[in-house]
Amino acid sequence: MIVVTGATGQLGHLVIAALLKKIPASKIVAAVRNVEKAKDLEAMCVQIRYADYNKPETWDTALKGAERVLLISSSEIGQRARQHRSVIDAAKRAGVKLLAYTSVLHADTSPLGLAAEHRDTEAMLRASGVPYVLLRHSWYTENYTSGVPAALAHGAVYGCAGDGRIASATRADYAEADVAALTAEDQAGRIHELAGDTSYTLTELAAEISRQSGKNIGYVNLPEAGYKNVLLKAGLPEAVAALLADSDTGVSITRLSPKASSNPWVTLKTPPFLPTSSPRRSTRGSFSISCLKARLIASTMVSLAIENVLTLRSLFSIHF
């Protein structure tokens, strides 16, 4: 039996869908904090179990009989290490054979503020004695495509990433990769750095938005403090604005690409909004990624352009 935490989330839904292609629904448990939100998952015949990262006592029941667990990192920044401990401790008590954790690319060396909680969680896993595999995700492509309406409304993409290159991939691709590791043999102790197989700058992203929309959209590179200010004005809380600005600066420093790591790495598909010269798929990781479907984000971008109703706030409606 495989238990997936955060199953009502965007990645969680895609993971459940990918798992259903590989194993029977009767062997899948969706751990959720809001059972009402899981009606669609229930309709897929997976078992729904209540569990809240903030309630350690809920996890023993949620993980009962679990052989494998996918711990999808919590979305509550600042609370995550403590919350993840509840799951790891319960996994140990339950005798889980493999716990897969969705971490961040290069978590061990990343200068991003967001990486700290992932590092702490990875350390907890190492100390726990529970067999684990680390699925270190680069950025979601959707972090950027969700900002297209705002870019169109304001005539610019804003950031402080400079010429940093981003090797993002869609949530659907990460879900496929996560499930590949979760269902494979000999995964304990492995670390997979997961990222897109090509990278792009925010200048290139703005150029592509211009090309597809027929509007002139530039990239405005701000100092980190200036970008944080934009985020604050857009209504984000101070801590979140600071972390997102810090992350953008991190892009300029680290290049969110897997190649800097000595760990095995797996590349996912080319970001679909970029011109595809010669799409490349690597199997250099310890398992190969197959069935990565092209998604029609480009056409979504065009339809979003037509709507063009979202506010700047939507640009930042991502929660890490």
Ligand X SMILES: NC(=O)c1ccc[n+]([C@@H]2O[C@H](COP(=O)([O-])OP(=O)(O)OC[C@H]3O[C@@H](n4cnc5c(N)ncnc54)[C@H](OP(=O)(O)O)[C@@H]3O)[C@@H](O)[C@H]2O)c1
- Using CA of residue 139, residue 143, residue 145, residue 150, what is the dihedral sign? negative
Residue closer to ligand X by CB (options 37, 93) is: 37
Residue closer to ligand X by CB (options 227, 305) is: 227
Residue closer to ligand X by CB (options 144, 287) is: 144
Residue closer to ligand X by CB (options 31, 96) is: 31
Question: How large is the angle between the packed helices 80-94 and 115-128, nearest 10 degrees?
Answer: 20
Residue closer to ligand X by CB (options 76, 224) is: 76
Backbone angles phi, psi at 119, to 5 degrees: -60, -45
Least Å distance, CB 216 to ligand X, is 28
Least Å distance, CB 14 to ligand X, is 8
Least Å distance, CB 186 to ligand X, is 25
Q: Distance (Å, rounded) from C-alpha 97 to C-alpha 2?
A: 10
Least Å distance, CB 247 to ligand X, is 9
Contact 24, 42 (CB under 8 A): no
Residue closer to ligand X by CB (options 52, 224) is: 52
Q: Distance (Å, rounded) from C-alpha 240 to C-alpha 316?
A: 10
Beta strands in 79-176 (DSSP E): 98-104, 132-137, 156-159
Least Å distance, CB 117 to ligand X, is 9
The contact set with ligand X (CB under 6 A) reads 6, 8-12, 33-34, 37, 52-54, 72-76, 83, 102, 137, 139-140, 143, 318-320
Least Å distance, CB 40 to ligand X, is 12
Question: Closest CB to ligand X belongs to which residue?
Answer: 9
Let me know how many helices (H) and strands (E) the chain has, helices first. Answer: 13, 10
